[in-house]
């Protein structure tokens, strides 16, 4: 019989809801502690999900006192690496929201810390586990693999989005703009379908929030994945009234499109097991449930994590290279 895992969560903002909803469906996970620097946010989430647990404002104290088996890190990007390092030092498994971290130096540090720990990290690229993406990948593989593709990300993010949560909009705390935050799932899927990026050319711009954010609101580029495979992308938060994400792949005989959480092949909709009652945005689908489930399976069995630190690298490499590129070719080496 599976043992019950004690679970803690840090950062009770927008996305914590998806995590707590998924955890409420997992029998072997018991939420024992919630932490937010704003105590009332942690208390509100506990009430909303009917969780009887301890509330903390200091995550170190929480890790030491509640001794969880696993912790979900749902905090601003610049805190991902330090919080994960503290958990790994205590042999606590980590379910880490995207992006893994905000620099290659941090990623290297995490990988080293994981080697020294009895615990490991799963990175939340939940869209890889949506039924549409799983089916799209299978179709692509059956047709010899994707040869080229594109991602387009059109979101609407105005000034309020950045002023509401102060960590957004700065390199120090968000690590970048649309690429590291909104486009990262689509960018990750380009790499899942076409392979890790070898080089790219990209340009970033801030079209509509100059003086309000220092990071990019838009980015476009072309990516070379090796073996003659290329992709291109355009991502913006300067669109109005829309929140749509498309990942489009060309195989020998087909054109495969994942539009938000829906799948289209050669233009026609394809049935998947995806259900409509996702929490949050259409482009997230229900991937959180699936991936969090797989995370606890891995914690329980000792198997490798469904998204390891190492295989979260491609998206981070790609977007950090886009930030450096200024329209010129940047090689992406390991
Ligand atoms: N996987 C996805 O599709 C998805 C979707 C949305 C957000 N996210 C990611 O989730 C993370 C959180 O995003 P969000 O939209 O929920 O942000 P948010 O600002 O709504 O929530 C972050 C929370 O962290 C808390 N916090 C900040 N510093 C803290 C600290 N030192 N200790 C404890 N709590 C602290 C804040 O008070 C806030 O409540 C980000 O990494 C974001 O990119 C992922």
- At 179-236, the pLDDT tens digits run 999 999 999 999 999 999 999 999 999 999 999 999 999 999 999 999 999 999 999 9
Going 259 to 260 to 263 to 268, the CA torsion angle's sign is: negative
Separation of alpha carbons 87 and 289, rounded Å? 22
Query: Is-contact 215 174, C-beta < 8 A?
Result: yes
Query: Is-contact 318 195, C-beta < 8 A?
Result: no
**Is 92 near ligand 1, meaning CB less than 6 Å away?**
no
Query: Is-contact 254 137, C-beta < 8 A?
Result: no
Give the model confidence (pLDDT) of 103-121 as tens digits: 999 999 999 999 999 999 9
From the CA of 15, give the closest atom in ligand 1.
16
Residue minimizing CA distance to atom 38 of ligand 1 = 13
**Is 37 near ligand 1, meaning CB less than 6 Å away?**
yes
pLDDT at 271: 85
- Structure-block tokens of residue 30: 């018991």
Strands of 93-97's sheet, edge to edge?
54-56, 29-35, 5-10, 70-73, 93-97, 121-124
- Structure-block tokens of residue 270: 């394809």
Separation of 76 CA from ligand 1 center, angstroms?
5
For the chain, where do the domains classified as CATH 3.30.360.10 start and end?
Answer: 128-267+313-331
Give the model confidence (pLDDT) of 307-323 as tens digits: 999 999 999 999 999 99
Q: What is the pTM of this model?
A: 0.96
Residue minimizing CA distance to atom 8 of ligand 1 = 15
Question: What is the rounded average pLDDT of the residues 81-85?
Answer: 98
Q: Which CATH class is domain 128-267+313-331?
A: alpha beta
DSSP classification of residue 18: H
Alpha-carbon 117 to chain mean position: 23
Residue in 45, 61, 76, 99 to alter for ligand 1 test, most ligand atoms within 8 A of Cβ: 76
Residue minimizing CA distance to atom 15 of ligand 1 = 14
Residue minimizing CA distance to atom 31 of ligand 1 = 37
Question: What is the rounded average pLDDT of the residues 84-95?
Answer: 98
Whether 20 has a pLDDT exceeding 50, the answer reads yes
Question: What is the rounded average pLDDT of the residues 156-172?
Answer: 93
Region class of 241: left (phi > 0), else alpha (psi between -120 and 50), else beta: left
Separation of alpha carbons 81 and 69, rounded Å? 18
CATH code given to domain 5-127+290-308:
3.40.50.720
**Is 170 near ligand 1, meaning CB less than 6 Å away?**
no
Residue 183: other Cβ atoms inside 10 A: 29
Query: Is-contact 72 36, C-beta < 8 A?
Result: no
pLDDT at 42: 98
Q: Where are the beta strands (DSSP E) in 12-142?
A: 29-35, 54-56, 70-73, 93-97, 121-124
Region class of 211: left (phi > 0), else alpha (psi between -120 and 50), else beta: left
Whether 46 has a pLDDT exceeding 90, the answer reads yes
pLDDT at 285: 58
**Is 284 near ligand 1, meaning CB less than 6 Å away?**
yes
Compute the mean pLDDT over every residue in the chain, rounded to the nearest whole number: 94
For the chain, where do the domains classified as CATH 3.40.50.720 start and end?
Answer: 5-127+290-308
Whether 30 has a pLDDT exceeding 80, the answer reads yes
Q: State the number of CA atoms in the 13 A half-sphere of 327 facing the CB.
A: 1
Going 66 to 67 to 68 to 74, the CA torsion angle's sign is: positive
Give the model confidence (pLDDT) of 247-289 as tens digits: 999 999 999 999 988 999 999 999 887 655 555 555 555 689 9
Question: What is the rounded average pLDDT of the residues 143-157?
Answer: 97
**Is 188 near ligand 1, meaning CB less than 6 Å away?**
no
Confidence of residue 145 (pLDDT cuts 50, 70, 90): very high
Confidence of residue 1 (pLDDT cuts 50, 70, 90): very low
pLDDT at 287: 83
Question: What is the rounded average pLDDT of the residues 44-49?
Answer: 98
Question: What is the rounded average pLDDT of the residues 142-150?
Answer: 98
Q: What are phi and psi of 190, to 5 degrees?
A: -55, -40
Confidence of residue 334 (pLDDT cuts 50, 70, 90): low
Residue minimizing CA distance to atom 6 of ligand 1 = 15
């Amino acid at each position: 019989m599976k043992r019950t895992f004690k679970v803690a969560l840090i950062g009770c903002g927008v996305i914590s809801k998806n995590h707590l909803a998924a955890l409420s469906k997992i029998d072997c996970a018991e939420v024992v502690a919630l932490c937010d620097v704003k105590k009332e946010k942690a208390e509100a989430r506990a009430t909303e999900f009917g969780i009887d647990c301890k509330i903390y404002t200091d995550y170190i104290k929480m890790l030491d006192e509640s001794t969880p088996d696993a912790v979900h890190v749902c905090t601003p990007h610049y805190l991902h690496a330090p919080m994960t390092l503290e958990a790994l030092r205590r042999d606590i498994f980590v379910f880490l929201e995207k992006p893994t971290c905000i620099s290659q130096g941090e990623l290297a540090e995490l990988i080293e810390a994981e080697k020294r720990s009895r615990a490991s990290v799963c990175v939340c690229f939940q869209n890889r586990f949506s039924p549409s993406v799983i089916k799209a990948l299978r179709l692509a593989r059956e047709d010899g693999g994707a040869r080229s593709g594109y991602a387009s990300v059109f979101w609407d993010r105005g000034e309020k989005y950045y002023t509401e949560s102060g960590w957004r909009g700065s390199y120090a705390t968000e690590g970048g703009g649309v690429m590291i935050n909104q486009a990262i799932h689509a960018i990750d899927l380009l790499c899942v379908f076409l392979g890790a990026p070898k080089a790219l050319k990209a340009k970033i711009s801030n079209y509509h929030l100059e003086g309000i954010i220092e990071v990019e609101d838009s980015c476009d580029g072309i990516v070379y994945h090796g073996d003659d495979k290329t992709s291109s992308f355009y991502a913006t938060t300067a669109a109005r009234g829309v929140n749509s994400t498309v990942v489009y792949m060309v195989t020998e005989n087909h054109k495969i499109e994942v539009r938000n959480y829906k799948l289209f092949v050669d233009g026609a909709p394809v049935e998947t097991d995806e259900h409509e009652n996702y929490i949050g945005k259409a482009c997230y689908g229900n991937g959180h449930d699936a991936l969090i489930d797989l995370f606890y399976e891995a914690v329980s069995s000792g198997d490798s994590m469904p998204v390891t630190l190492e295989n979260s690298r491609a998206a981070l490499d790609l977007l950090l290279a886009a930030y450096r590129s200024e329209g010129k070719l940047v090689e992406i080496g390991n």
